[in-house]
């Protein structure tokens, strides 16, 4: 049975469950940052997904990207499956801005996460849900 990695569970909040992926928000108000986790057991890398799951993963990545684009009008999207620290397969989908703290570098490790306030989190959830309609 699929269970979310403990570190991912600690660092994120769940926004939704799509057909393949659990849709998480990284609890870091520094960047609009989604994490998609295919609900499949024991996978570490994208190429371990079955062929149909791979296509579904691409669809959901594009869907997540579209929502961030609509909500934030970013300068760039960063999409990445790294997983050197958390082994469970997960895909980062991040809205980047020329004014963000890490630009033009990748975001990982640049600054400690700034957790959302309860209010900001509720606002994100509301906007995310509205953008899915």
Binding residues for its own copies (CB under 8 A): 44-47, 54-55, 57-58, 61-62, 65-66, 69, 76-85, 96, 103-106, 108-109
* Concatenated DSSP letters of 46-64: GGGS-HHHHHHHHHHHHHH
Name the residue nearer to its own copies (CB basis): 38 or 116: 38
Name the residue nearer to its own copies (CB basis): 16 or 106: 106
Please enumerate in sequence order all residues whose Cβ is within 8 A of that of 71, keeping only pairs 6 or more positions apart, or say none. 32, 95, 127, 128, 131
Residue whose structure tokens are 């801005």: 97
What is the closest distance, in whole angstroms, from the C-beta atom of residue 61 to its own copies in the complex? 7
| Count of beta carbons in the 10 Å neighbourhood of residue 97 | 15
What is the closest distance, in whole angstroms, from the C-beta atom of residue 63 to its own copies in the complex? 9
Name the residue nearer to its own copies (CB basis): 27 or 56: 56
Name the residue nearer to its own copies (CB basis): 48 or 123: 48
Name the residue nearer to its own copies (CB basis): 116 or 128: 128
> What is the spatial distance between Cα 132 and Cα 54, in angstroms, rounded to a whole number?
21
What is the closest distance, in whole angstroms, from the C-beta atom of residue 19 to its own copies in the complex? 16
> What is the spatial distance between Cα 40 and Cα 2, in angstroms, rounded to a whole number?
6
What is the closest distance, in whole angstroms, from the C-beta atom of residue 6 to its own copies in the complex? 17
What is the closest distance, in whole angstroms, from the C-beta atom of residue 111 to its own copies in the complex? 14
C-beta separation of 24 from 14 below 8 A: yes
């Amino acid at each position: 049975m699929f269970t979310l990695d403990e570190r991912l569970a600690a660092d994120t909040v769940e926004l939704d469950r799509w057909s393949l992926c659990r849709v998480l928000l990284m609890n870091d108000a520094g960047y609009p940052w989604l994490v998609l986790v295919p609900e499949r057991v024991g996978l570490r890398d994208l190429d371990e997904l079955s062929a149909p799951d791979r296509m579904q993963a691409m669809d959901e990545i594009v869907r997540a990207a579209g929502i961030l684009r609509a909500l934030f009008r970013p300068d760039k999207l960063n999409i990445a499956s790294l997983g050197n620290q958390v082994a469970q397969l997960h895909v980062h989908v991040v809205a980047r801005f020329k004014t963000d703290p890490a630009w033009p570098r990748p975001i990982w490790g640049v600054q400690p996460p700034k957790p959302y306030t309860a209010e900001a989190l509720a606002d994100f959830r509301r906007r995310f849900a509205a953008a899915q309609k």
